[in-house]
Chains A and B, each alone.
Chain A
């Protein structure tokens, strides 16, 4: 084959490919145009649903008739638009409509499909409607991490003992999104999940203990105080620092002295967590123990000590003003902190 023939063949191949792509773009564009033309009719569907929501289940027959004119995909998308905005009786009506139009049965069926993307979409549809099924609970242990994460996000609405156990199991999931979703769900579930978390701490490994402490630090349940005090002498600095954060959040009367005790820790991270905690609790008796940290070699610790003393109010201010006159580091940070007094505390903690 000559060079010219080769070039010609290549050109023909490229021209054919361009034509094929253009046809695809054209067909897709036509499909989109059809969707745009359908939009006014979909507005009718939206109005019918809203009417049914305001009129109750008895009024939903008309909506079912109107929705019957559209494909399930369109009905699902319209219902998903409305689902996050409704609650209580209206949600019951919406679920009823979803059942009668086949949206929810189809999604329930989708939970058992082989393709992970179908299971993921189905659980998202069911979660948007606030529906609870046995299959959804099982999806907390699904083989796809996307599905597990979504199941964890759904679990907030159904915090049974079984679901809580599933969420705690997800705290050791290899996928970060699953761990995040589980932690977030446990925080949102709140006090109802505390007991399960406390029980789980007995058997959890170090990583899971830390993740439970992160949840506890966001929850602020006083029941975690004793556990955090126990963990404040844990072998790993990260766990001890998190224990300090939990102590600060619980606001327990025992938390302040415990945090002061942590100021003697060998790890800078732990000391920093304790100093932050003392500021959060406004535990002014701890000021005297924080003051020597103004001269600590670590800049971060010096800064945090200065800010903490400032946050303690008048007792802290006295300590700042008397900060070790011979110690340049301490004096410099004390001056910096005192300069912040001219502006509001909110601004000072920028």
Chain B
């Protein structure tokens, strides 16, 4: 055994150490790139009044596509949140993807839906549409009831029905800043080459929601949600801006992204994939290279959307396993891009970096931990080496998280209370002591389930936006608008057959999974 370790494992140990050093350098380069990007962006938007520039008749029209499946806990607040969004030409298309709960009834009673029969072209084939409704209270709100077909199918239905120049996909459990669209539309106005744009999403746990709007932005007070808040900061404050400056953005969160509708139709819309958000962006970029058309993906660092993070280990584990599975699926589907010069930056830099530093990271990390432990047990490695190695790995993780916190502190400063900021520092440290190792396990499980061919989304429990005293890490509603008079409630039977339940939850994306 000792001979085996010395012959094979010792060189592997050096490979692992070299990988960690490479990873550290890679992320520091990304950080530098992100810092420059953020500096430029903050200078651009300083004292800007979006209302003047973008509340214009010349602004492109936008349809918000909202897939919903069994979202009874959050649907009302979230649609209200979307209705508060200020944008000149906005249509909201909610697609109830065969919910078996009260999602559609809640929508019907809250917004007074009436059936309509718009003439639309089914450019992308989808599951059967049962009915289409328009809200009497808000004429720009359209609700579609359809047979269950998954999130991508629901988005494709909305894409067929919408008639706007740009479409925005947003999850039914995401709260949007009222000015969010104005900020996100900017890259599309700037250049016709932009086919998609994403923005920063933050963890809503601990925040307060009033009338569908985020009333106070506070950090989570529980470790699990707090650590995820740090992860989100890291991913969105330097993962994506960093890639943006290097021209290699591959991720627009499924929770909130803006796309040119024509580009989506040309690439056959959303694909059935667990990682459909990343898949779409890779496909759009690939299509651009294949057809010799510009296909730029832009990222706006402004925090414009807020989403509830899982508060239980089981749920979180399922989510991370699903993300890694989706990520693996995307890399496999688009393996033809890898190291092909005709795909330029995408094929020669971005995809290899994603494979090496994102997809492979949990495997290398797990191998490294096992090797060091075995080496110590066999007496081939000193305990001091093991401690130093572990401390180095943790130290690098803590440094990257701290850098993200510093970027937040020097840029948007959305966490107002000193206590929240101090807690974020604590979570950034704690993340490396147990949580990070757990995510390695979940991600390896994701890779294994991808190899086994698992396709399902897995079950996800919605906690909704409860009152603050129920659960301090759930976005809290402190006020409920009164239901308008004359609202009628339709029986669920009116909306077609009830079908099974998938999970239509978004993925934040893969950036910084290795951290």
Contacts and interface: CB of A to CB of B under 8 A. Distances in A.
Interface of A: 3-4, 7-8, 10-11, 14-15, 17-18, 21-22, 24-25, 28-29, 32-33, 80, 84, 116-117, 120-121, 124-125, 127-128, 146, 149-150, 153, 175-177, 180-181, 183-184, 187-188, 214-215, 218, 299-300, 303, 306-307, 333, 336-337, 339-340, 343, 346-348, 350
A87 to B, nearest CB: 14
Given A17-B399, A22-B402, A176-B190, A29 B409 contact: yes
Contact of A180 (B46, B114, B132, B189): B189
Contact of A124 (B49, B389, B409): B49
A343 to B, nearest CB: 6
Contacts, number: 132
9 contacts: A4-B388, A17-B399, A18-B395, A25-B402, A84-B51, A117-B44, A300-B121, A306-B119, A350-B132
Contact of A307 (B47, B119, B190): B119
Given A25-B406, A214-B58, A4 B395 contact: no
A22 to B, nearest CB: 6
Contact of B190 (A8, A29, A175, A337): A175
Interface in B386-405: 388-389, 391-392, 395-396, 398-399, 402-403, 405
Given A18-B398, A18-B402, A340 B43 contact: no
Interface string B32-64: 000000000001101111011100111100000
A22 B382 contact: no
Nearest to A116: B43
B7 interface: no
B190 A121 contact: no
A71 B388 CA distance: 49
A120 B56 contact: no
Given A15-B395, A25-B406, A299 B121 contact: yes
B125 interface: no
A26 B53 CA distance: 36
B171 to A, nearest CB: 24
B398 A121 contact: no
A28 B406 CA distance: 9
B418 interface: yes
A107 to B, nearest CB: 10
Contacts of A116: 43
Contact of A340 (B119, B134, B139, B190): B119
B459 interface: no
Nearest to B60: A180
A124 B119 CA distance: 45
B117 interface: yes
The 6 closest A-B pairs by CB, nearest first: A350-B118, A117-B43, A14-B395, A7-B388, A184-B56, A21-B402
A14 B396 contact: yes
B415 to A, nearest CB: 10
A84 B48 CA distance: 12
B37 to A, nearest CB: 14
A153 B116 CA distance: 40
A129 to B, nearest CB: 12
A336 B49 contact: no
A128 B49 contact: yes
Interface in B82-116: 114, 116
Given A32-B413, A117-B43, A346 B384 contact: no
B410 interface: yes
A84 B396 contact: no
A4 B385 contact: yes
A48 to B, nearest CB: 22
Contact of B53 (A181, A299, A343): A181
A52 B85 CA distance: 34
